[in-house]
Every structure is written in C-alpha cells, then in structure tokens.
Amino acid sequence: MTAPGDDLPEEPDHPETPLRLRGSLLATLAALSAFGPISLDLYLPAFPSIAESLGVSTGDVQMTFAACLLGLGVGQLLYGPLSDRYGRKPPLIAGLILYIVASLLCAVAPSLAVLTGLRLVQGLGGCAGLVIARAIVRDCFDGPALARSYSVITSVAMLAPLISPTIGALVLRAVGWREVFLVIALFGAACLVGTLMLPETHPSHRRSDHGVQAALRGYGSLLRRRDFVLPGGVAALASGTLMAYISSSSVVFITDYDVTPLGFALIFALMSLFFVSGVRLNLHLLQRRTAHSLLRIYLPVIASGMAVTLVLLVVHAPLWSVLLALAVVKVCLGGTLPNATAEAMLPFARRAGAASALLGTLQMGLGAVIAALLALLPWPPTVEMAGTMLVLSLGASALVALPPAAAADPGRAAPAPA
C-alpha cells in the first residue's frame, strides 16, 4: 500500500497561489512563525518570580518550558494532515482559539503542576501557527524563491525574540508574572484576527482525502526519504542547539553572572539581533551559493564557537567574551535554520502540510527532551547549556557532511537549487 501522496508528483510546475511576501500577508505569516519565540521567550525573565510564587526551584520551572515545547512539537503531527485535507485556515483558526484559552488559564494557574499542564495545552494550540505558516509558504513559492521566502519570514519573525524578553521583564516589573501570560493571550488574539483575513492557499483540488492512519503511513514514508531525513535532521539538531540556549540562558546569566531580569532581556535581545543578522546575511549569500553549500560552512563554525563558549563558561571568563563567542554561533544559526528547512520542504509540494508537521515535531520534540534533561541534570547550568549545544552542533555537522539525496540516489531528480 502506498503512503498518501506517494503516487503523485511531488512538485507542480508552478505554485498555484502566486502571492508576494508583503503587507498583511508578511505580517501574519511572520507572526504565526513567531509562536515559538513568543510562547517560550516572553516569560523567561519571570523564571525566578514563578519559582518563588509557586514555592519551587528555578530548575523546576524549566519543566513548563519543556511542556510547551512538547506541545508545540507533537501537535504538529495532527495539524499538518488536517491542513492538507481541509485547507490551511480551518485547523489554524481552531488551534489559535485553543492557544488563547490556554494562555488565559496559565495566568491563574495555582501550582507548578497545573501551569505545566496548561503550557502543554498552550503548545498544542500554538503549533498550528508554526506548521501551517510553513505550509502556506510552500504553497506559494518554489525553487530558489523558497529558501529566500523562508529567510524573509524568519528574519521578520525573529523580531519576536528581540523584544519578547524585554516586554516580559517590563510586565514583570510593573505587575507580575501572571500578567505575562495575558500578554501572550493578546498576541494569540491578534494572530486570530490576521488569520481570518488570509486567503486560502491550498485549493480543494489539491487536498488529500486520507484519514489518520493514512497520515501516519505518510509520515513513515517521509522518514524513509533521504531527501527529508538528512536536512530534517540538520534542522532538528540546529533547532535543539538554539533551544538549549533559550531554556538555560536565563539561569546561566541571572544566577551565575548576577544579571538582572531586565539585563538578561537586553542580552537575549542582543543575541537575537545577531541571529537576525545571520538570516539577512544568508539572504545575500543565497544569490551566489546553494543552501546546502552554506550549511557545510555554517555548522562547523557553530561547533567551533560552542567549543570556545564551553571553555569560557567553565573558567568563568568575563561576560563580554562569552557573548562574543555566542554571537558567532547565533549568526550561523540564523543561516542554518531557514536553509535546512527549505531543503527538507522543497521536494514535497503536495504534502507540504505533512512534511512541515513532521519537521516541526522533530525540532520541537528534540527541544522538549533537551529542556527536560537540562532541568533534571545535576551539573552546573553553564556546563549543561554549552556542552549540550556543542554535542548537538557536532551532530548536525556530521549529518550535513554526508552526501545529499541526489548524490546518494542518481535516479531521483535533484531538487532545484535554493
């Protein structure tokens, strides 16, 4: 029995919805792509306050981060096939409503256990934005334009981590950590309004009619495709590197370097700015080189930068030196993530929703495992964070060094260069 879409050509000659990334479309897709940063970064400065309020340790609060990541990952397996079958907008609207309700309930959570459970539900709602935004971009763009489009969306979406921790720190100072979740709910409501104005980019004649079992078989077929597994693995490991930083950075800088919550927010914004700079640089480099060739440059630099960062943190070097090494890592991650995403999505035009869902699950699922491990490990936070980032970046470097799919299978047509 063939998996959904296996009997169909993966790439149409041209995308059927020729839209341009500008105006309200750009703003809405970027906002939907920012559900991860908004859900995860906005409350990072509040970790110590949440711990004190709920009578737990700061490390325990990291479990709420892991729960949200798990929801952001697992839920994508459902939204991807739903968006392939029913169109992009209906499941997206349903997910946003769930996200808003869960965010409001997080604001009144009486205990860490309840907050952790609600964060899981919040992630299950918010992941609709992540997976369907990627699918919409794949609906509208093809070939070299696809990598550039993901880079544009990523660069605009990365405004969220630039400002999220600062907003969270200011709300924390003015009122408290519970109100931070009200701000998150307002963001979800704004995305819902923007979504209602979006066009439907997945027309009825391209939709699948397969059920859940067929969708699961489709995921299995994707996992047997080298042209998905290799770039998808790179994207997951690179995303895990970023998540290890996000989940532990507040503990490292606030606890080990005595930085204030607002000071941490400024550091986080600075590092996010370097990430955005990497995205913008990648856009220019894509005019002269392929996405894959750039990945082979970025990832060894990331691994080298993390080795230096680990040494600096172990010897408790001055903060500026640690930030300098992390800046190099962030710039290269800014090019790695959109390029790996584009490589994984490019061959799957008819199954863009399913491919996007599985890719997101790999990224967020690995991030959730990493965040949970970092919360449980007894090592110093500096060693946990930098050591984990180093191991993951080395793994991604090894994957990208392998021959790409076209070279491994001469009978398969090579994807268009990105």
**Is 2 domain-assigned?**
no
Alpha helices in 107-225 (DSSP H): 112-140, 144-157, 159-174, 177-196, 212-223
**Is 364 domain-assigned?**
yes
According to the model, what pLDDT value does residue 414 have?
36
**Is 10 domain-assigned?**
no
**Is 17 domain-assigned?**
no
**Is 14 domain-assigned?**
no
Whichever domain contains 236, its CATH number is 1.20.1250.20
CA nearest to 375, candidates 280, 251, 269: 251
According to the model, what pLDDT value does residue 413 have?
35
According to the model, what pLDDT value does residue 8 have?
39
Taking only the tens of pLDDT, the chain with its 418 residues reads 344 444 334 444 444 444 555 567 777 888 888 888 889 889 988 988 999 999 998 878 989 998 998 998 888 888 877 888 888 899 999 999 999 999 999 999 999 999 999 999 999 999 899 888 888 887 877 767 777 777 777 766 767 777 888 899 899 989 999 999 999 999 999 999 989 988 888 777 777 766 556 777 788 888 999 999 999 999 999 999 998 998 888 888 988 898 988 899 899 889 988 988 998 899 899 989 999 999 999 999 999 999 999 999 999 999 999 999 999 999 999 999 989 988 998 888 777 777 877 888 888 888 888 888 887 878 888 998 999 999 999 999 999 998 876 543 333 333 333 3
The secondary structure element, H or E, covering residue 276 is helix 261-285
Three-state SS sequence of 196-247: HCCCCCCCHHHCCCCCHHHHHHHHHHHHCCHHHHHHHHHHHHHHHHHHHHHH
Q: Give the Cα separation of 266 and 269 in Å (integer).
A: 5
The answer to whether the beta carbons of residues 290 and 190 sit under 8 Å apart is no
According to the model, what pLDDT value does residue 23 have?
60
Q: Give the Cα separation of 285 and 279 in Å (integer).
A: 10
The answer to whether the beta carbons of residues 129 and 32 sit under 8 Å apart is yes
The two structure tokens encoding residue 358: 């599985």
The answer to whether the beta carbons of residues 69 and 364 sit under 8 Å apart is yes
Structural domain of 161? 23-199+209-408
**Is 338 domain-assigned?**
yes
**Is 418 domain-assigned?**
no
Q: What is the dihedral of CA 256, 261, 266, 268, to 10 degrees?
A: 60
The answer to whether the beta carbons of residues 61 and 374 sit under 8 Å apart is no
Three-state SS sequence of 31-81: HHHCHHHHHHHCCHHHHHHHHHHHCCCHHHHHHHHHHHHHHHHHCHHHHHH
Query: Side chain identity at 135, as an amino acid letter?
Result: A
The CA distances from residue 264 to 75, 96, 322, in Å, are 31, 29, 14
**Is 417 domain-assigned?**
no
Return the exposure string of 118-147: e unless at least 16 CB atoms fall within 10 Å of the residue's CB, then b: bbbbbbbbbbbbbbbbbbbbbbbbbbbbbb
Q: How many domains does the chain have?
A: 1
Tell me 140's DSSP state: H
The answer to whether the beta carbons of residues 44 and 243 sit under 8 Å apart is no
Query: Side chain identity at 31, as an amino acid letter?
Result: A
